[in-house]
Amino acid sequence: MPASSRPGLSACIITLNEADRIDACLGSLAFCDEIVVVDSGSTDGTRERAAAKGARVIERAFDGYRSQKDFAVRSATHDWVLCLDADERVTPPLRASIEAARDGGFAGAAGYRFARETKYFGAPLRHGNAYPDRVLRLFDRRRGGWREAREIHEHASVDGTVRPLEGDLAHDAYRSLSDQLGRLERYARLMAEHMHARGRRARLANLVLNPWWRFVRGYVLRGGFLDGWRGLVYAYVEANYVRQKFIKLWLLERGQRL
């Protein structure tokens, strides 16, 4: 398809204090026609770095991960959008796949899904619950988007065919163990509040068995042990997140403050 008739493509990113990672993210999106960055109050120069890379930067108060991403998508110029987090990068093989699909006019698809590879303490995780973490991030906003009610662990969805693409989305998820533990504690609270608001109840089995099952499924059944000590640490921390989530839900049911 001639370049002049290819569908336009907007990249959409939400940020908060990502100055150390935003350059790599934006650099991997150079093939897009537009980059939209929605920032929720960075104080480390993120907005300035993004603008210097040619992104259109919009400031907006944060009111939830899903809502922020939905706003970014609605702010885009083009209907086909590629959504990334600031700690993610489009790898060359994935870029080639996206450009090939775009050259074909994204024909026969409402969206595309691809694997996400998480870098953990300096090396990628290739097994367990971490990989392949297939995500729907390239889609036609006229047929879907970030439309579910949940603000945390949000997922895009579309009405129509979702096709797979070759290549990985690189995910440099955590700056340190403290960063990971802090994030997961926050995510556990948000998930507990979400479940509590919808009438979900925590049972004793949830506190005991659910964390155990998350560890066994990821580390044993899905081969997380093949990632060595990184796979072990990742599986333990993941299981602890599940434990925290249900403990917090348990406390909310009993009127306790988190």
The verdict on domain 3-172 having CATH code 3.40.50.720 is no
The predicted structure's pLDDT at residue 220: 98
The predicted structure's pLDDT at residue 154: 92
DSSP string for 187-252: HHHHHHHHHHHTT----HHHHHHHHHHHHIIIIIIT-GGGGHHHHHHHHHHHHHHHHHHHHHHHHH
The predicted structure's pLDDT at residue 2: 59
The predicted structure's pLDDT at residue 118: 97
Please state the domain extents for the chain.
3-172, 177-253
Residue spans of the chain under pLDDT 50: none
